[in-house]
Structure 1
């Protein structure tokens, strides 16, 4: 039988190519001990497609990597590519001459973009790449792959949301599926003849749209395997039964799949460790590749900085950071949308509702450093040296030393916490009179929660003048309220039915610990019949060191407990879902109804893996996360699957100031973007 495979040429001006290769269901040759070589016709056809000289080169030069492991009844996606580290050697007169084929080293932007869309952010492809869909077991082990399946993730954008695919395709001039436009390089493969009427923004197939989630959890599981293999007692000299290899038609593909993913797990471990321990301190933009100071933006997307010292080599090539950091080409057109198209929406807060004081906070100077924001705080009477109010952690942040100065055991009223700001929300529950003061669009949802969709709505409800900057702190409780109001209808209903508090775990808390009393705002906004148990989970290395909190007493699970009208606030320290804290038993009165994590950045720390894994295995728990910028948000949201990725939206209660980000120029806001895992709806 013959199957359709897709060749992704390294030359972006060449179209994706559909080829038919033979695939024999059953072995047609003898089997060597430890390795099967039964599929000669398949390898011969693949060798021809990849322009290899012989099937011997297939064995020595061709590498197979899973972009998506086969799972259950869904075939995986495999990439075949040439070993770029292998040299071609020829013997001449007793000597050995070594040459490298340039076709093996030409960067493949489109195949690399596809890997990124599968969550394999660190993979870089060179030379031609052949894409094959295959099962590990079963009857027919390979299935047809069409250009339509991979066109968007390969030629348009690694952001698989249909809205972004549509915008990028239009920006690249790709008016139809596989259409022209030098930017996309999509072209028209042999299988695309029937796709003339297809929209370029056709949804990515579900199996590919969920690849990032599956790969993430595969790495989690395979790290356990790697850890076990590295134990001294893991290499027993047991007997090898004949069934270990002989008679297993899937041995070779299974072995290659496992080895490739285990290698990926090892690479990811190294990368995560580096991310966790490396800390850059800067007061000016940095080149995204070498981290030297730079002010040269990418001319196309204006979303990233590169050194402006690229030079031309003798053979016409290019040297420099933009050349070495060529993988940005995979993202450039998408970042153009993030940086240019979406910046205006993110910077617009109710058509200038706050006035001049806030407009300055989104100016260019605030995008380049913390100094202008500190100057603003100083101008309204907030001095970093003697500040004892909730504003303290707005100066320098949590990890800069403010953590050591905070004692969460000290209670503060709103007047003390917001000092020296006098215009603040009243420290009481909302009333019907408050609701009647609001715009008619402010109503209640099916659970009786007031629907707030903007800072204007909140300020009007709480009778705060727009000249007040309290929104800079209120972004935290209002983001939690928005998560409950927007995604918590089922959890709220269940809590009411069981006559118990709504349990919310705020994971990865840092600066929030400085203003725990501000979260009483939630009880003031929620209906009186909704009691709340709000538990802040702080990593042990981020827990305030200068605190008078007592260690948990026998039978008490909190390091700190605050009882307030309609709610209990608790603080615990440890690794959520890891070795120290079991979410079902060690935190509060029971398992969570919702998990909230603000400015999470799920790729940033190893400890987030246990949180993502917990939500993956407990689909009845709603997880709501925020992130600083759209690129981080869409990649982290993809870990919850395609539905979570599509849920990514601008948070109406983001902090209304631009945050500096030193190697990128993407719009960045505290609690800027919001997405949800395990979204539920009332039936």
Structure 2
């Protein structure tokens, strides 16, 4: 547990050392001392039983089909492995889109240069870098996706593809399919609070394969959008490329061209600011079929309240994800105070969560990007 944060930190008393003292009931939080554990009990007792239940699902949380799963889950959680070493072992540390998958990469200045010029930096056999057969059956897991795209289970591309696959999964959960007459080949998605994914935008090219024949319009709305990029429209009509010059994915040299042979296209538009402040401008051309807020942290930021009120008012399906079940539980509770009803889509595990654990989590629960989701 080296590096764990004391659960009572910030409650008034200074921590006296490493947080090595577990709550013996839930085993999800740790303390630096008995006195801090006692002092924190008045708060922790309201969550202890719930965390105890969540800890029972640790094996399910860590259940991925990849050959590197133990290395990326258990080894990271016990600090025998880190994101830097995981990426270094694959020649991906501080490289292209992968630069922002460890603490070495992302800075606020990075957002001035959005991720449109990078490929996979992997051989073609490990990449979904070209068109494939259409999605004939719904994809339920990473195993389904890798089989459909003919990618071996030692490929790390899922570390970046969890962004578009989570969109795909959320759309299916709220009933968005090609059979919806109101969509009419144009799918409008409002995507709230993007951060790291702004530096990995080419992975959204995979939506060309996931929504064949559709023009997918994604409005990326959030304070992390650089001021000089506000209002910018980006066309993505190709897949991210591998590192082989002769691969079919290199046929299209430019990042943008009208559309793929399947008729699919992805348009990203950037909006700086909070959703409730920019909504009127956005819906002039784009009333959403789906609103999605990846890793939202709803309970942590008061700025979400007017946004939730807006979503409740317009009545569009909205899906929220977060790093762990507890964060989704707290978020759903916050939303219930606004909507006065439980989530239409109950808190559930996302099968397309990122398959490498978050380092230095406050809880001993394994945390993953886009790990759990729920919807209103």
Query: Does TM-score exceed 0.5, indicating one fold?
Result: yes
- Structure 2 match to 1:559: 232
Greater RCO, CA 8 A, separation 6+: 2
> 1:560, CA displacement in angstroms?
3.6
Residues 235-314 of structure 1: matches in 2 within 5 Å? 284-290=3-9, 292=15, 293-308=18-33, 310=34
C-alpha distance in 2, partners of 1:331/1:473? 32
Which consecutive residues of structure 2, in runs of 5 or more, have no partner in the other structure?
238-258, 260-264
User: What residue number does 1:531 align with?
Assistant: 215
The aligned residue for residue 664 of structure 1 is: 363
Match of 1:476 in 2: 163
Q: Distance in 2 between matches of 1:511 and 1:492?
A: 33
Match of 1:343 in 2: 58
CA contact (8 A) 1:370 1:660 kept: no
SS at structure 2 position matched to 1:664: coil
**Contact preservation (8 Å) 1:625, 1:675:** yes
Offset at residue 464 of structure 1 (A):
0.5
Aligned to 1:631: 326
* TM-aligned CA deviation for residue 422 of structure 1: 4.4
Q: Pick from 29, 37, 40: which aligns with 1:325?
A: 40
> Contact 2:71/2:81 (CA < 8 Å) preserved in 1?
no
Q: For residue 305 of structure 1, report the CA deviation from its aligned partner.
A: 0.7
CA contact (8 A) 1:408 1:515 kept: no
Q: 1:632 to 1:288 in 2, by over 3 A?
A: same
Q: CA RMSD in A?
A: 2.7
Q: CA deviation at 1:654?
A: 0.6
Give 3-state SS (helix, strand or coil) of 2:200's partner: helix
For the 8 Å contact 2:216–2:267, the answer to whether it is kept is yes
SS in 2 for 1:577: helix
Uncovered stretches (5+) of structure 1, i.e. residues with no partner: 1-281, 311-319, 436-443, 445-449, 552-557, 678-683
TM superposition outliers: structure 1 runs of 4+ over 6 Å = none
What SS class does the counterpart of residue 298 from structure 2 fall into?
Answer: coil
Paired position in structure 1 for 2:77: 367
Per-residue Cα deviation, 1:353-402 (whole angstroms, up to 9, x for no partner): 212x2211111x51256961211111111233xx3x1101102288x52x
* C-alpha distance in structure 2 between counterparts of 1:378 and 1:588, whole Å: 46
Shift of the alpha carbon at 1:418?
1.2
**TM-score computed with the length of structure 2 as normaliser:** 0.82
Q: Distance in 2 between matches of 1:501 and 1:646?
A: 24
Q: Cα offset for 1:660? A: 2.9
Of 512, 517, 536, the match for 2:202? 517
| Structure-to-structure mapping, 1:306-455, within 5 angstroms | 306-308=31-33, 310=34, 320-326=35-41, 327-339=43-55, 341-349=56-64, 353-355=65-67, 357-363=68-74, 365-367=75-77, 372-384=82-94, 387=95, 389-396=96-103, 401=107, 403-408=108-113, 411-412=116-117, 416-420=118-122, 422-431=124-133, 450-455=137-142
The answer for the alignment partner of 1:86 in structure 2 is none
What is aligned with 1:163?
none
CA distance in 2, matches of 1:407, 1:492: 39
Distance 1:616 1:503, change over 3 A: same
| Shift in alpha-carbon separation, 1:502–1:429, aligned structure 2, 3 A | same
TM score, norm. by length of structure 1: 0.46
Q: Which residue pairs with 2:268 in the alignment?
A: 569
Pick closer, same or farther for the CA change 1:377–1:289 going to 2, 3 Å. Answer: same
